[in-house]
Amino acid sequence: MKRFIADLHIHTCLSPCAEIDMTPRRIIDRAVKKGLDIIAISDHNSADNIGVTVKMAEGRGIKVFPSMEITSMEEAHVIAIFSSIEEAVEMQKLIFKGLPDRKAEERLSGYQLVVNEKDEIINFCRKHLLGASDMSIKTLVQTVHSLGGICIASHVDRGSFSVTSQFGFIPEDVAFDALEISYNTDKEKAEVMLSEYKSIPWIKSSDAHHLNDIGRITTSFYLEKPSFEEMVMAFRGQRKIEW
């Protein structure tokens, strides 16, 4: 098995809360420089910058997983990672149906830029990406699974927009594939906070909103190759995960 260093939670300039220099080109450059082997592009409720990021990664020795950070109707964030761009786009369609359109004043919170390989703006997303979808947490996770994706509960150590903050504890009827611990919480603290959830694998990701955040914290996967299938095997306990 080979060790692959992964950062599975990176926002692009499509997320209103991310810096506008988080373009796919710059993200790939920075991730390569940081020695990352696998990244996931996870914008809030949208998949529109994934295709270009995957393209930018070609021939750079880095694998990009299509992903989205989806907001359930209870305002819990979930990282959904897919095996193909098509699956992510399909999920975006379902999410967009229930997501409000963006009002003019919400532009103040960020631009929501869709860009191309040259960092040129090709579109402004017109959905309110910081809004909540109309899917309950259970429906959301079931839908992602039915499309072939996996679900990681975002920053479960945080007191806002996490499954733990919105639900008090992780609902028994929702089958998460992994839990994400944020940059701020070390292993010792996590062991105390999440002691009830030993049966689900834990990972650490950067939740990067700035270029400097990329790879500030990572998770190592010991895989045969950096594929979606191998990562799923790791989440099922058939491959080693370390952080």
Partner 1 sequence: MLRVNDIIDRLGLETKVKGDMDAEVTGCYISDLLSDVMANSKGGELWITLQTHPNIVAVAVIKGISGIIITNGRLPENDTIKKAEAEKITIVTTQHTTFDIAGLLYNIIKNVK
Asked whether position 196 contacts partner 1 by CB under 8 A, the answer is no
Nearer to partner 1, 193 or 232 (CB): 193
Nearer to partner 1, 19 or 180 (CB): 180
Which residues lie closer than 8 Å to 172 by C-beta, 6 or more apart? none
From 173, 192, 198, 199, residue interacting with partner 1 (rule: CB under 8 A) = 173
From 29, 74, 90, 134, residue interacting with partner 1 (rule: CB under 8 A) = 74
Asked whether position 188 contacts partner 1 by CB under 8 A, the answer is no
Distance between CA atoms of 71 and 16, rounded to whole angstroms?
Answer: 14
From 25, 32, 84, 136, residue interacting with partner 1 (rule: CB under 8 A) = 136
Q: Residues 176-201, buried b or exposed e (16+ Cβ, 10 A)?
A: bbbbbbbbebeeeebeeebeebeebb
Q: How far is the CB of 173 from partner 1 (least distance, A)?
A: 7
From 84, 116, 165, 227, residue interacting with partner 1 (rule: CB under 8 A) = 165
List the beta bridge partners of residue 240. 222
Tokens 């229930």 belong to 98
Count of residues that interact with partner 1, criterion CB under 8 A: 14
* DSSP line for 147-161: HT-EEEETTTTSSSS
Tokens 């991310």 belong to 18
Q: How far is the CB of 131 from partner 1 (least distance, A)?
A: 15
Asked whether position 133 contacts partner 1 by CB under 8 A, the answer is no
Asked whether position 137 contacts partner 1 by CB under 8 A, the answer is yes
Q: How far is the CB of 98 from partner 1 (least distance, A)?
A: 15
* DSSP line for 169-207: S--TT---SEEEE-TT--HHHHHHHTGGGTTS-EEE---
Asked whether position 142 contacts partner 1 by CB under 8 A, the answer is no
Nearer to partner 1, 184 or 238 (CB): 184
| Percent of the chain as helix, strand, coil, to the nearest 5 | 30, 25, 45
**Taking a C-beta distance cutoff of 8 angstroms, is the pair 53, 87 a contact?**
no
Distance between CA atoms of 208 and 242, rounded to whole angstroms?
Answer: 20
Distance between CA atoms of 124 and 212, rounded to whole angstroms?
Answer: 24
Q: How far is the CB of 160 from partner 1 (least distance, A)?
A: 8
- CB under 8 A: which stretch of 50-58, 110-118, 133-141, 181-189 binds partner 1? 133-141
Asked whether position 59 contacts partner 1 by CB under 8 A, the answer is no
User: Where do contacts with partner 1 occur on this chain (CB under 8 A)?
Assistant: 74, 136-138, 159-160, 164-169, 171, 173
